[in-house]
Structure 1
Amino acid sequence: MSQTLQAIYAAKRKARRFAVQGIYEWQMSHNPVHEIEARTRADNAMHKTDLGYYHELLSEVISNADVLDALLVPVLDREISALDGVELATLRLGAYELKEHAEIPYRVVLDEAIELAKHFGGADSHKYINGVLDRLAQSLRAAEKQQAK
């Protein structure tokens, strides 16, 4: 893989990390998205972050939280209110990418969500995230999943 491609992937990964933190903050505080984004940009070195993707993830996941939750409910084994805040933020971000970014292979979406859960979540939350998003991919990315078999 070229260094340019590696830099693009790394910038998107950083965007996801900052986005999941912002989504988590919003879930806990309901602060306006623009305040969360401004504070994040002011407090962090984001020069190697895909800022456009960060902005999209943060604003779109938050503004579409109800739609994303409706997608998640059928594949969860518990109520959304029983989820850990980091798990919920990660699942919402993963659901958004599965739904809105078909150009990103579903396995990449799952891998990125697993890494976020390992970094921010509890000890085994990455396993739960993987299972939920894999079930969601069965409906949102059925053709892609079928081809991967």
Structure 2
Amino acid sequence: MGRRRAREVALQILYQVDLTGAPPEEAFSFLPEVTFVEEKDLAFARELVFGTLAHREALDRVIAGLSHDWPLYRMAAVDRNIMRLALYEIFHREDIPNSVAVNEAVELAKTFGGHDSSRFVNGILGQVVKDPGRFLAAFEGEGK
């Protein structure tokens, strides 16, 4: 099914880990859709999940710095994890163009989020891609 499906799986895993605190491997084992994902796409989903989780604190600093009226704890968990995933791609995956990361995030928000999720996600990510260097300080000290 490709990378879009892998991103859907990654989002579902990140959502489960965020809400339940389950270890990622355990979350993968509970997602029945994983059995219908090709191995290369599942490998990509795993890279996204573990990469996003490895940088979650810095990604959250970026989101919090841009969402002045919405603290992280008040955001819909789906929106929060879509943005974490996209920001991981923007800052740590040179093989994925920023425009692709944003477009995929908006599509995930349309599918899994609420009525205004796609606009909210696009607004936050759009600010990042205009000047990604402005946010690099969020990653200082994490051994990027």
TM superposition score normalised by structure 2: 0.83
Find 1:24's aligned residue among 12, 15, 28.
15
Off by >6 Å, runs of 4+ in structure 1: none
User: Which amino acid in 1 is paired with 2:10?
Assistant: A
Distance 1:126 1:115 in 2: 7
* Pairs within 5 Å for 1:25-44: 25-40=16-31, 44=35
CA distance in 2, matches of 1:101, 1:86: 21
Does structure 1 conserve the Cα–Cα contact (< 8 Å) formed by 2:28 and 2:34? no
Aligned-CA RMSD value:
1.9
Measured in 2, the distance between the counterparts of 1:48 and 1:119 equals 23
Q: Please, which of 56, 71, 76 is the counterpart of residue 79 of structure 1?
A: 71
Q: Which residue of 1 aligns with 2:99?
A: 107
Q: Distance in 2 between matches of 1:15 and 1:141?
A: 28
Shift of 1:141: 6.4
Which residue in 1 is equivalent to 2:48?
57
Secondary structure at the residue paired with 2:114? coil
Look up the match of 1:98: 90
User: Contact 2:13–2:49 (CA<8 Å) still a contact in 1?
Assistant: yes
Structure 2 residues without counterparts, runs of 5 or longer: 135-144
Report which stretch shifted further, 128-137 or 37-46: 37-46
How many corresponding residue pairs?
A: 133
> Which of the two has higher C-alpha Rg?
1
Q: CA shift at 1:48, angstroms? A: 7.1
Q: CA deviation at 1:44?
A: 3.7
**1:137 CA displacement:** 1.4
Counterpart residue type for residue 129 of structure 2:
A
Distance between the aligned counterparts of 2:133 and 2:90, measured in 1?
7
- TM (normalized to structure 1)? 0.81
Percent identity between the two aligned chains? 27
